[in-house]
Each structure stands twice: as C-alpha cells, then as structure tokens.
Structure 1
Amino acid sequence: METQPKPEIELIERDGEVTLSIGGEQAMQAWERDLMWASADMLCEYGHDFYEVGLGLGLSALRIANNPATRSHTVLELFGEVEDLFRARHPKLPGNLTIERGDFFQHVFALPSESIDGMFFDPALDMEVWTNADLWARTMPEVVRVLRPGGVFIPFFSTKPELRWQYLPHFTSIRVERHPYTAYDTTEYTYGTSGDAYIQCFRKC
C-alpha cells in the first residue's frame, strides 16, 4: 500500500493574523476563538468527561480542560507537528488534559462504549473524506456508541444555516445556536468573512 506523503504544517503569524496551515490550506485561524469557546462551553454543560478530535490551535482544548465541570479531556490529533506547535506555545497544560496521536476513523472503533459525556469534532479533513458517505455511515454509529446517554456530539461551527448530513441521521435531538462572527479578510474557508455562524449540538437520547 502506498504511503501518503505528510503535509507541510506551519504556524503563520503575519499582519496580526494567526493561521495554522496544513498542506498549504488554512486549517484554523485565531479569529475563531469566540466560536470555539462558545462550542466548548456548550459541550461542558453535558457532563464531566470529554473527547476532542483535532487539536488545531488548542483554543477549544484549553477552554474545555479549564472548565470547572471538566474531570477529564482527551484530544486526538493526527499530526505530531500540530501537537509540537501547540506545546511550544503552551508548555504548562492543565492536569486533566491528555493529548493522543492517531487517525480518528480508525481509533474510534477502539474507544470504550458509553465512556464520554461529549465529543467536540474539529479535524482537518480533505473534501474527499467529507463527501464519503460510506465512511460516515460506518463512523457515526461508533460515535453514538461511545457517548453516554444524554451525551452530545458537537462538530465545528458552520457558516451556512443547514444541518450537516454526515451526522443528522444518527441523532433525534439537535440544538442549534447562532453567533455572529468576523473572520480575517484573508480567510478562505467561510461563506463570507462576516455574518452568522451556527453551532450544532447533537444529543444522544
């Protein structure tokens, strides 16, 4: 089997903007802070033990770990370089925060059933992954299995007012909050650089 080359990963700080770039693409930017914090705060309403997919700049990871309700928070990150950049900026981490390495679409099958109260999902994925219906059909039942009753799955915010088809068939209770946002003028991954963003919270009944 041919091994895929590792993407180039760099933290770009220029003209007051902070961008995590993976494979030449904008994976995350610092302007997202308030939206990431709002997502993290919502997650922490639902329990004490949490799991996060995708470390990024660590904005949500630190917010979740530092919430008084949080007993444990584990972050799964695919790329070692992303973790290295994060640790360089944050050498002292909360004691309840653990960072693990791995591919979520393989790792999720090994997670214990009903072991977490909430999962925040914000990995850097290629478009071919986002559009792979068979992959999501295999993966999302595992996410539901891992959640405790009443637990929640919160993906990263959307700047389009529509529920994500990848997750919708697997949950019957969905909470949506609307938040204003202003991105950088150079931001490429939102629908416009200002407007409304939508945080979607899918709850296991």
Structure 2
Amino acid sequence: MENATKPEAGAGPGTKPAIELVEQDGEVTLSIGGEQAMQAWERDLMWAGADMLCEYGRDFYEVGLGLGLSALRIATNPATRSHRVLELFDEVEELFRERHPELPDTLSIERGDFFQRIFELPSQSVDGIFFDPALDMEVWKDEALWRRTMPEVVRVLRPGGVFIPFFSTKPELRWQYLPHFREIRVVRHPYTAYDTTEYTHGTSGDAYIQCFVKS
C-alpha cells in the first residue's frame, strides 16, 4: 500500500540508520534506513516549491538536505540573501558535497534535530521555511509533538512568511500544520515518478504543493 506521506524513511532520535546513494538503471535514490527518502525524479516539484518560497522574501531556512535539489534552487535564486539548511545526518551532507563541491555563498548547512533546533531559532528571523525531513511514521502521527512544534515554526517566521512542506500526491491538507495558519495556498503540478517509487499514490498524476502563510 502506498504511503499517504513521503516516506517512512529516517530515524528517531538516538538511532543511526544506514544511508546510501543508490544509482541504478538511470534512477537516483537517497536511501535512509533501507527506505526511499528521496529520488531525483522529484526535481521539478522541488524546484516549484523552492521558487514559491522565494516569492516571499530573502532569508530562508530548510529542514532536510536530501539530494539538495531545493537547497541549491533556493540558494541560487536572485532574491535570496541567505539560506540555511538543517540536516540530521552527517552522511547525507557528505554525499551532497561529493556531488556539489562548490556551493553558493548564500548556502550554509548545519547539523541538528529539527524538533530541538526550532526552539532555539530567533523569533521572526526568516521569511520562509522549506520542510522536507525524513522522519519515522511514528513521528508523523505524534499529535502532541506537532502541537508543541508548530507554534514555534510560526514564531520563527516573519509576518507574511511561509511554511512549505514537501509536496503531497494526495489532495488533502496536512493536519499537522493546518490549525496554525489561516491562509493556505495550494498549487497543483503533474508528476511522473519512477516505476520503483514506493512513497507516492501511484507513479504518475497530480502533486500538490501546500504553502502555509503567516498572517
């Protein structure tokens, strides 16, 4: 059964999953804990979300480096002054830097756990947050965790700033974020995944980018 969210990959605090970049039959997959965390076919959707983010300011924060598709897109946007990326795993950054040894001056990568770091970020310090971490399904289902965390996300955003999570292939607003924003922008994009992709609702169709705006 296909997942309603992207994906069950990743790990909870204190664990160390196996991380590798799998390139086979023209497909590129970042594997974390034996699960598909991200694949290269996502590029156009990640770019669309990144471009949307950059409409709302010039200082940005991203959670989850992955293949770096959105990180590089945001950092090289002419509007961007600064883009910080929070990544939990050393190996993910190492794989990224092997493929991209020279990074834009606007881009910096830091290590940490989002559910701790968000409480440390200054209030009204960024114009947008792009959210694409690999998390266990137990984390996605932890209602108390999201009730504690999302008010901090709103606090960190400047007025008019946005929170953009990774795309969904199911046309429904995510309950984790919905109670904390009054304005939500949704844009539909077609997509075609790999035949081997496990974390989408089918391997082609429509994907939805959800942009939550701080009033």
Cα separation, 1, equivalents of 2:14 and 2:48: 35
Q: Which structure 1 segments of 5+ residues have no match?
A: none
Shift of 1:136: 0.2
Could you say which residue in structure 2 is the equivalent of 1:203? 213
**Partner AA of 1:183 in structure 2:** A
Could you say which residue in structure 2 is the equivalent of 1:181? 191
Cα separation, 1, equivalents of 2:30 and 2:145: 26
Q: Which structure 2 segments of 5+ residues have no match?
A: 1-12
Cα separation, 2, equivalents of 1:5 and 1:134: 21
Cα separation, 1, equivalents of 2:154 and 2:162: 9
Cα separation, 2, equivalents of 1:6 and 1:147: 31
Find the partner of 1:165 among 158, 175, 186. 175
Cα separation, 1, equivalents of 2:59 and 2:145: 26
Paired positions, count: 203
Cα separation, 2, equivalents of 1:118 and 1:96: 15
Could you say which residue in structure 2 is the equivalent of 1:24? 34
Q: CA RMSD in A?
A: 0.7
Quick check: 1:47 aligned with 2:77? Answer: no
Shift of 1:5: 3.4
Quick check: 1:132 aligned with 2:150? Answer: no
Find the partner of 2:113 among 103, 115, 136. 103
3-12 vs 41-50, which moves further:
3-12
Quick check: 1:89 aligned with 2:99? Answer: yes
Find the partner of 1:74 among 76, 80, 84. 84
TM-score (norm 2): 0.94
Q: Which aligned runs of 4 or more in structure 1 are off by greater than 4 angstroms?
A: none
Assess, with a 3 A threshold, how the Cα gap between structure 1 residues 5 and 146 changes in structure 2: closer, same or farther: closer
**Partner AA of 2:43 in structure 1:** R
Percent of aligned pairs with the same amino acid: 83
**Partner AA of 1:154 in structure 2:** I
4-13 vs 115-124, which moves further:
4-13
Quick check: 1:7 aligned with 2:17? Answer: yes
**Partner AA of 1:132 in structure 2:** D
Shift of 1:4: 3.7
Find the partner of 1:116 among 118, 126, 130. 126
Cα separation, 1, equivalents of 2:34 and 2:25: 18
TM-score (norm 1): 0.98
Other structure's SS at 2:118 match:
helix
Shift of 1:73: 0.1
Quick check: 1:153 aligned with 2:163? Answer: yes
Shift of 1:39: 0.1
Larger RCO, structures 1/2 (Cα 8 Å, 6+ apart): 2
Could you say which residue in structure 1 is the equivalent of 2:10? none
Cα separation, 2, equivalents of 1:109 and 1:119: 14
The one-character-per-residue Cα deviations of 1:27-56 (angstroms, maximum 9, x if unpaired) are 000000000000000000000000000000
